[in-house]
Amino acid sequence: MSEFIPVFEPKLNGNEKKYLMQCIDSGWIGANGPFVKKLEDEFSLFCSQKYGSCVSSASGGLDITLRALKDLYKWEDFSEVIIPSFNIISSAQSCIYNKLKPVFVDAEDRTWNIDINKIEEVITKKTRAIILVHIYGLPCDINPILDIAKKYNLKVIEDAAQAHGQTYYNKKCGSFSDISVFSFFTNKHIASGEGGIILTSNEEILDKVNYYKNLCFTKDKFIHNDLGWNYRMTNLQAAVAYAQFEKVGETIKTKIELGSKYQELLKNIPAHLSCHKTEYAQNHYWIFGVVLNNDVKFDSKYVQNKLAQANIETRPFFYPIHKQPVLQKMGILDNIKRPVSENLYEKGFYIPMGLTLTDSKLEYISDKIKDLFRKS
């Protein structure tokens, strides 16, 4: 029996401690500190965008991104925004908070990203935007989506929360649209506990998101014309994120190595593994996913329980947004099936991908998974 193997462990062995001490020694712990500015300037440059705006989370970042776009481009209430159904709740939630209607498109089998062939069929006169999401470390097929956006005059927002430093045909994710959002949550490729950043090359959008994230303060301090949120990120978080940013290349290299090893170790199990590579990108393995084949007699819950008994932590895949009870309760769901997302949830799970995993642990995990199929 192995010691407990968590699904993720961050590696804080760079300048994190040094930069945090600089915050404390200088007294700059709040939102206007030098690391916030450095991160905004340098991370935007890294992603070929003009401006950055640090926020307290990517979810908050999406809230104010949609609010800014709705405002600037005068979208009516209940305008429609296309999002992948196989995704975290954040994008749908941000639509709803802004009185916009999320419209869900199924995933495709090979990459688990949005199925580009099913986008046009959901476009209506009310569609105003599409949110590109790069699922689990592999970019979606961006160019055809940009073509559709152009044809129907849709705004594009990139949710690159799982794709720091990732590229699509050698161009950085987060650079493909007017506005992109990254997360610095603990398990992301750049981690500060909580936090995120909005990137844009449009000054009007920048001004709007800075306004909304900061309680809609105006130059006349304490006089407010609108209500916003406090979505500011602290200098303490930015210090850690900046240190993590300095070694994001190393993090990605480690992730690709771990993912490649799993591919080799698990290649013969009756399951579909995370897609290693496409024509346009190498998977950066934000997570390593396993989707059981249809002829396997058990589901992902069974495997997760068995692995838990062997001290191996796993996580389920995203629950399809178009089936979320909260959205059902709000009466904003249709009855359309998105079979690929639904199958991914039933048959999919992900296995440990911490940055400190050793070869012997990888082998232990892979052996335990292979055992399950031997016995059945």
For binding to ligand PLP (CB under 6 A), which residues are involved?
57-59, 88, 90, 133, 159, 161-162, 183, 185, 196
Judged by CB, which is closer to ligand PLP: 184, or 364? 184
Q: How far is the CB of 364 from ligand PLP (least distance, A)?
A: 27
Q: How far is the CB of 128 from ligand PLP (least distance, A)?
A: 20
375 burial (CB, 10 Å; 0-12 / 13-18 / 19+) is exposed
**Choice between 58 and 351, CB closer to ligand PLP:** 58
How far apart CA 200 and CA 52 sit, in angstroms, is: 7
Closest contact distance (angstroms) between CB of 59 and ligand PLP is 3
**With respect to ligand PLP, which residue has the nearer C-beta, 319 or 364?**
319
Which residue lies nearer to ligand PLP by CB, 57 or 180? 57
Closer CB to ligand PLP, 136 or 364, in the complex: 136
167-202: b (≥16 Cβ within 10 Å) or e: bbeeebbbbbbbbbbbbbbebbbbbbebbbbbbbeb
Helices (H), the chain: 16-26, 34-46, 58-72, 90-97, 142-151, 203-213, 235-246, 248-265, 300-309, 325-329, 339-347, 359-375
Starting at the earlier edge strand, list the strands of the sheet with 51-55. Answer: 51-55, 196-200, 179-183, 155-159, 127-133, 80-84, 101-105
Residue 71: HSE in the Cβ half-sphere, 13 Å Cα cutoff: 17
If DSSP codes are grouped into helix, strand and coil, which group holds residue 230?
strand
Structure tokens at 135: 């699922």
At its nearest, how many Å lie between ligand PLP and the CB of residue 200? Answer: 17
- Looking up tokens 């997302």 gives 341
Nearer to ligand PLP, 49 or 113 (CB): 113
For the bound state, the minimum distance from the C-beta of residue 56 to ligand PLP, rounded and expressed in Å, comes to 8
Contact 20, 367 (CB under 8 A): no
DSSP label at 136? G
Give whichever of 20 and 161 is closer to ligand PLP, judged by the CB atom.
161
Tell me how far, at minimum, the Cβ of 187 lies from ligand PLP, in Å.
8
CB of 185 to ligand PLP, least distance (A): 4
